Amino acid sequence: MRDLRVSVTDRCNFRCLYCLPETEEAANFYRSRFDPVKNPNPLQKIEHLWKPRDELLSFEEIERVVRIAVSVGIEKIRLTGGEPLLRKDVERLVRRLAAIPGVKDLAMTTNGFLFKSKGEILRAAGLQRVSFSLDSLSPENFRKMTGRDGLSEVLEGIDLARSLQFEAVKINAVVIQGINDHEIESLAEFALRKGMVMRYIEFMPLDSQKVWMRDLVVPGRQILERLRARFDLVPVHSDNPSETAQRWRPRSGAGEIGIIAPVTQPFCGHCNRIRLTADGKIRTCLFSIGEHDIKGMLRGGGRDSDLESRLRDIVGVKEDRHHIGEPEFQQPARSMSCIGG
C-alpha cells in the first residue's frame, strides 16, 4: 500500500447525480429510465444525518494516522470529502501533513466551488496537486448534474490553480449515458487547450439512493474510441504498476487524457489504496461492505505500535476485487460522500 485517501468531512455542498442524487432534476432523469409501473418514484426523500463534529477525526488524529501509515510505506496522501473545503481551516491540516517526512505527494480532490477563496492558502501550506470535479461545461447541464449553479465559480477556481503552478491540475468527469456523454470531446478540448490532465471516470454504484444502473455506464473503451477519432493521441507509458488510468497525450501539444474504467476494466489486482473516512474508519476498497474502526484506538489510549499493527492487519484482509456485475455484488451502505473518493 502506497496511497492513502483521507476524507476530512462527509458533508458536501453539491448534490451530484452519481453521489447524492436528491434534486428534482435528478428524480426526473432517473424516472425517465425506470419502469413507471414497477418503480414510479425511483428517488426517495432522504434526510441526511451528517456526522456530528465530535465524531469526526480531529486534525491531530488525522496527522497521527498519516504519520504512522507513512512509517510503514504510504507515500501519497489525497484529501477528499464530501467536499474537503467545507472543513474549517483545512489548510492547517495540509500544513501538518506536508511537514511529515516521507510524504512524497500531497493532493486534494475538490468540486472547486470554494477553491477561489482557499487556493493560495492551500498552495502556501504545502498542497502539491489538485483535482477538480467538472462533469459539464454547460451551465444548464452542470446544474442538472450537481444540483446547483456553480460552473463559473469552478472554472475560476481551475484558472486560479493553474496560475498558482501546482505540480498538476486535473479535471475529473464522471460520464453518464444520456446526461453528459455528449460532452466527452468538448471536455477534452477544454483541458488540453489549458495544458491540463482530463480524466474520465466510469459511473460507479456509489450513490446514496442506490439507483445506479449498468445501462448508464459509458464504457471506457467507447470513451477512448471517440477521443482518438477527434484527437491524435499516443499512449503514455507509466512505470507505476498501480496506475488506475489508461493514459494518453496529444502527439503535439500539452495536456493528457486518462480513462479510469473500474466497471468494465477493473484494476483491482494492482490497487495500492486504502481509505480513512472522516469518522475514523479504514476502508480497503471503495466497495467494501465492512469497515475497520481505528478511532476507538486513537481516543482510547492506543500506542503508535498498536495502531501500526492494526493497520497491517487491516491491509492483510484487503479484498482481491470488487464484485460489480456479479450476482453477489452488494452496493456499500454509505455513499461516495461518506466514503471519500
For the chain, the structural domain boundaries read 3-339
- The pLDDT value given to residue 41: 61
User: What would the pLDDT profile of 153-162 be if each residue is shown by its tens digit?
Assistant: 999 999 999 9
Strands, E assignment, the chain: 3-7, 76-80, 105-110, 129-133, 168-175, 197-202, 233-235, 246-250, 256-260, 273-276, 281-283, 292-293
C-alpha cell at 305: 505500535
Of residues 269 and 312, more confidently modeled: 312
Does the pLDDT value for residue 242 go beyond 60? yes
Q: Look over the chain and give the mean of its residue pLDDT values, rounded to a whole number.
A: 90
β-strand partners of 171: 132, 198
Under the banding of pLDDT at 50, 70 and 90, the label for residue 210 is: confident
Does the pLDDT value for residue 199 go beyond 90? yes
Of residues 40 and 180, more confidently modeled: 180
Of residues 109 and 48, more confidently modeled: 109
Query: Mean pLDDT over residues 260-273, rounded?
Result: 84
User: What would the pLDDT profile of 119-155 be if each residue is shown by its tens digit?
Assistant: 999 999 999 999 999 999 999 999 999 999 999 999 9
Query: Mean pLDDT over residues 218-222, rounded?
Result: 97
- The pLDDT value given to residue 46: 60
- CA distances from residue 249 to 31, 169, 186, 235, 322 in whole angstroms, order as listed: 38, 15, 16, 6, 29
Count of residues making up the chain: 341
- The pLDDT value given to residue 36: 59
Does the pLDDT value for residue 17 go beyond 60? yes
DSSP 11: -
The Cα–Cα gap between 61 and 4 comes to 15
CATH value of 3-339 in 3.30.2290.10, 3.10.450.50, 3.20.20.70, 3.30.470.20: 3.20.20.70
